[in-house]
Amino acid sequence: GITLKDASILDAHIFFGLLIGAMLPYWFSAMTMKSVGKAALAMVEEVRRQFATTPGLMDGSVRPDYKRCVAISTEASLSEMIPPGILVMGTPVIVGILFGVRCLAGVL
């Protein structure tokens, strides 16, 4: 194993792990923001579709289909967060297997 006394940022493996660990939150945030953008675009397209196909929606005499908008949000929130979740949970495992304990100590 590795002890705290052995963990020096001058060690190339630990330094490489530090770089990966420092990059991880930004990568996760970028993936999450991309997912939010996709979900928002799908919502905008649905709202435009409803305004284009539902007569009386613009003047308020007909209620919009809220269930479809909620379904789009739910589907996007569940499916689009899988890759960022895999990234966060898989990175330590992959780094530990490929680069060893010293690099993993840097990541964590």
| Number of structural domains found in the chain | 1
Give residue 60's pLDDT: 86
Which residues lie below 8 Å from residue 70, measured CB to CB, with a gap of 6+? none
State the DSSP string of the chain: ---GGG--TTSHHHHHHHHHHHHHHHHHHHHHHHHHHHHHHHHHHHHHHHHHH-TTTTTTSS---HHHHHHHHHHHHHHTTHHHHHHHHHHHHHHHHHH-HHHHHHH-
Give residue 17's pLDDT: 93
The pTM for the full model equals 0.76
Give residue 20's pLDDT: 95
Show pLDDT as tens, one digit a residue, over the chain (108 residues): 677 777 788 888 899 999 999 999 999 999 999 999 999 999 999 999 999 999 898 888 999 999 999 999 999 888 999 999 999 999 999 999 999 988 999 998
Give residue 7's pLDDT: 76
Domain that holds residue 101: 4-107
